Amino acid sequence: MSYKLNKWLILIIPTLTIGLWEWIRHEFLLSYISMELGNLLSPVIVFIVTIVFLTKLFSIMERSQQELAEAKAMQDVLLEREHIAAELHDGIAQSLFLLNVQLEQAHREQSEEHYTKLKAQIHHTNAYVREAITSLRSPIKVQGLRMEEQLKLFLSELEMIMDIRIHLNWKLKDEQLPLKERIDLLLSIREALHNIKKHAKADQIWIDAFPTEKGWYCCVKDNGIGLSDQELSRSEKFGLSMVQERAGNWNWSFKIERKQEQTYFRIERKQEHTFPNRT
């Protein structure tokens, strides 16, 4: 039912109700009920019709407004990510390419071992940037899917390319998070899974998410080799720094730790939802 039709029904139904009641009362009921009783029944009948019909129409309108707001928020997020991807491509990726050309020209004048290391690092960084561009341009496959369904889609793709078993225990409902926070949470989980795929050499992953008394908790755990403090601080862990930034924006608690031969990637919101911090 369209928004315009809902609006007209809300305006017309009370008028039609009182008009229909007055016609029925004067045509068929004057011999059975007095004028005073009929006047008392008029607001009661309008109230009952309002409760039965208009409440449902208001609910439909509110749901439509929420869907429109979520669609706009999704569009804003995708446009912002496309802008970031374009900046990465036009700035960092092209700068790395030019730097690589310069290294090739200077290769004959300096230590071959030194330039081999630099060139390898540039290639590695360039590959990471291109992967980031691809990730930014397709963060969500289908807008209408819920968080658990979107995560299952990504996990099915991950299981196709990795010999790994993934255990999913998802108890978090979409209604508990606004749209942009849901997207940031899914992107953070995907970053954790990408790191496991690249570095952990794990054969099992556990993903748990559930509501808490004042917020929610999410943990991605694996039985791989983990990351050392030195590895976590290296420049190619840019994805983790983005997770840290999202955590700051949404007032999340974010932590990576190693316990009993397992790595824990934890995100938790310990308070009622507040708007993200923006500078």
Mean pLDDT of the chain: 78
Amino acid at 218: C
Tokens of 4: 């315009």
Name beta bridge partners: 204.
165
Residues 6+ apart with CB under 8 A from 206: 166, 167, 169, 219, 220, 221, 222
Q: Where are the domains of the chain?
A: 1-139, 142-279
Task: Please report the DSSP string for 222-250 in residue order.
Answer: E-S----HHHHHSGGGHHHHHHHHHHHHH
Nearest alpha carbon to residue 277 among 243, 253, 247, 256: 247
User: Which is more confidently placed, 129 or 42?
Assistant: 42
Task: Please report the DSSP string for 140-168 in residue order.
Answer: -S-TTS-HHHHHHHHHHHHHHHS--EEEE
CATH 3.30.565.10 for the 142-279 domain, yes or no: yes
Over range 214-243, report the average pLDDT.
76
Q: How confident is the model at residue 36 (pLDDT cuts 50, 70, 90)?
A: confident
Q: How confident is the model at residue 251 (pLDDT cuts 50, 70, 90)?
A: very high
Lowest pLDDT segment from 84-93, 110-119, 149-158, 263-272: 84-93
Residue 235's pLDDT is what?
42
Q: How confident is the model at residue 76 (pLDDT cuts 50, 70, 90)?
A: confident
Residue 254's pLDDT is what?
95
Lowest pLDDT segment from 58-67, 94-103, 192-201, 237-246: 94-103
Check the CA dihedral 100-105-106-108 and report its sign: positive
- Pairing mode of beta strands 165-170, 253-259: unpaired
Over range 99-119, report the average pLDDT.
67
Residue 142's pLDDT is what?
43
Lowest pLDDT segment from 111-115, 150-154, 266-270: 111-115
- Pairing mode of beta strands 216-222, 204-211: antiparallel
Q: For tokens 């862990």, name the residue.
A: 237
Residue 279's pLDDT is what?
39
CB 265 within 8 A of CB 256: yes
The Cα 211–Cα 170 span in angstroms is: 10
Nearest alpha carbon to residue 172 among 214, 217, 222, 221: 217
CB 124 within 8 A of CB 98: no
